Amino acid sequence: MNIKTLKLSLALLLMLPIFSFGQTNDYSMRKCFGYQRDSCSRSENVYYKMTDESRSALFVKGQTSRVRINIYNGRDYRVSFCHDRVLGEGIIMRIIDAENENTLYDNSEDNFATEFEFTVTQTREVFVEIEVPGNSALADAENNSDLIFVRKDTEMGCVGILVEHMITPPKGF
């Protein structure tokens, strides 16, 4: 064995623990990193472009979380979400004005739609809030001193928020 092969073998051997830490222990589902890019349906309108404000995260049943995004006057937006099936149905998506906390859109009033398109007339900061219904042992963890672990395959899953935008087309002829 020459020196070059020995160095390569040693380098690979030293990197093995790094690769193993990067692996998930839940092989039945994707990792959540980039979930919105890989799992959410993009608009069929070719003018919509995905924004950097698109996000994904690991959620547990019963969890509510929000992310702040900027929306700009003169643009159309499409906000959609996707999720692992383990989280069930009836996931709520709200768009909330960050300045006054007014709810601008609530999909529970829209047959639990997973996408919403709108035109912006005033630049604003808004929250996209996701609420996953249900209960999990993790939500009760503060009150349960006997809890040791939470099953990822029945109580946790990925949620992705896909934010797309385009310049608002002119109105009329």
Tell whether the model's pLDDT for residue 47 goes beyond 90: yes
Q: Residue ranges of the domains in the chain?
A: 28-167
Number of helices (H), then strands (E), belonging to the chain: the values are 3, 9
pLDDT at 155: 82
pLDDT at 135: 82
pLDDT (tens digit per residue) in 80-137? 999 999 999 999 999 999 999 999 999 999 999 999 999 999 999 999 999 999 887 6
Strand order in the sheet with 103-106: 64-71, 124-131, 92-97, 103-106
Q: What is the model's pTM?
A: 0.75
pLDDT at 18: 40
Contacting residues for 42 by C-beta, under 8 A, at least 6 apart: 48, 50, 162, 164
Q: How far apart are CA 168 and CA 44, in angstroms?
A: 16
pLDDT at 138: 67
Query: E strands, the chain, where?
Result: 49-50, 55-60, 64-71, 75-83, 92-97, 103-106, 115-119, 124-131, 156-167
In the chain, what percentage of residues exceed pLDDT 70?
A: 73
Residue 167: pLDDT band (50, 70, 90) is very high
Per DSSP, the three-state class of 3 is: helix
Q: How far apart are CA 81 and CA 94, in angstroms?
A: 11
Residue 11: pLDDT band (50, 70, 90) is low
Rounded mean pLDDT, 53-78: 95
Tell whether the model's pLDDT for residue 24 goes beyond 50: no
Topology of domain 28-167, per CATH? Jelly Rolls (2.60.120)
Higher pLDDT pick, 62 / 146: 62
